[in-house]
Structure 1
Amino acid sequence: MRSRTILIVDDEPRSREGMKKILGVWAAGQYEILTASNGGAALQILEETPIELMITDIRMPEISGLALVSQMRAKRIQRQPSVIFVSGHAQFEYAQEALRLSVVDYLLKPVGREKLIASVEGALKAGEEKEHLIFMRKTADPQLMAIRDEEAVLSEAVRQAMHYIETHIDEVISLQEVAGHVHLNGSYFSALFKEQCQINFSEYVTRRKLQKAKELLLKTNLPIAEIACRSGYQRVNYFNKLFKEYEGMSPGRYRSMRNGMEAQIQ
């Protein structure tokens, strides 16, 4: 189960509890709000609990907010939360360091309710998008990624063919059908596709369908048979065989292993 926790780090009790109260009402039970009065306590929490977002004061005794984030990055904590800095001092050097540490936002005290909530919502959204990209990169087919990276230099006909495959991924797709769609002779289209993509047409279609299947396996709880159907395979036994041939495991095992990896990342 994905942890949804926000950590507030501030040595000033009034500021710390004030932000906790505001976010507690806003979260309405969807997020757990934890607090720490110093950097040392915060690091311990970060090592023990997956944190989605950390809001920390910059100026604190012993371990400053800047040092806290630097140490957090150095420790390679598996779940690196998004970070918002708060400070009672509008110093340019702080803002510069915040940018270097990839901090999402920099707020000046006293932080108003609306400003705090807007910043938190923005940081959480940015964190989710980053995690999604990281995770999808881990599951993406390297050959499809290589083709996508070179998409700008592909001919219009090949790009149109890829778009057609994308929008008909749940159907049986033939070379002649796609060649007709882009108004090219089948033999010429086949040679053109292989020359530009370094992979033949049928191989590309298979890999793209299996990529779709992997996304459905990870993002949904749909039965394997339904995923096979949505990926354009009517016979689930054939889908299972093909999936195992390309991924080295059954669709069910892939789902359980990857979901386990996702839980570790988070």
Structure 2
Amino acid sequence: MADYIIGDLHGCHDKLVKALDIVKFDKSKDNLYFVGDLCDRGKENLKTLRFAYSLGEAFKPVFGNHDVWLYEYFAFGNENECWIGWNGGDATMAEVKSISAADKKKYAAWLSTFPYMRDVGGNVVCHNFIRNSMLKDRIGDFDPCKVTLGNCRDSGLVRHPDYDEYVFDREIAEYIQHKAGQKEYRWYPYHDDDFKADFPEGKNCIMGHTPLYEHGMAVYGGVYMIDTGAFVTKKEYRTAKDGCLTIMDLGTKNTWTI
């Protein structure tokens, strides 16, 4: 049995299938952890959704901000303007709007089970960096491993003072990229002492959210940023290179890119 983890998919079904072929993934015995963001921006959103669903118990995701928007559409009919207008939700909507009500209900129920965080043998799996204060803090029955898309409104997560930072913020991502030698640090006054205070002690952290299509995966201080911009193409995004999908062996930390 092997544990793998894959970066943000964003509707890149074919790259996902190729990645699993490369590592000879066997859903009857292997696990595929996922840092969140199934759909949006890519060209194969419904295929990606269906394929991930077909993996059954072998697929072990956490939810990202794009999964929140998709869940709220399936569960409540919400067509979030931020999602559709500026974050690639229009591509997903074009594919999923016509699926049956039964399928929408099925996928809503499935997405509702996606947890906020997983702790896998010393590896914190999350969409965005989980601060140490969040791991130690408890608001009522709040536990980041037990919070899911379906119960997050009642869990205390949305009342946590740093909620926006956990789901959307890129301050720590900028810091990690800088420390990994990928870019100058230009955003927020986040420093080494902040990182030491926030980082989950004695654990690795594997995260997504920020697409690193220019330089690839960034690693610093036990943090692995594995969203490498699977959806990015030079032609569409006017970048120097295409993005890729990263898959990692969670035990050895060996990686492959597609």
* Shorter-chain TM band: under 0.3
Normalising by structure 1, we get a TM-score of 0.25
Higher share in helix: 1
Normalising by structure 2, we get a TM-score of 0.26
Question: Higher RCO, 1 or 2 (CA under 8 Å, sep at least 6)?
Answer: 2
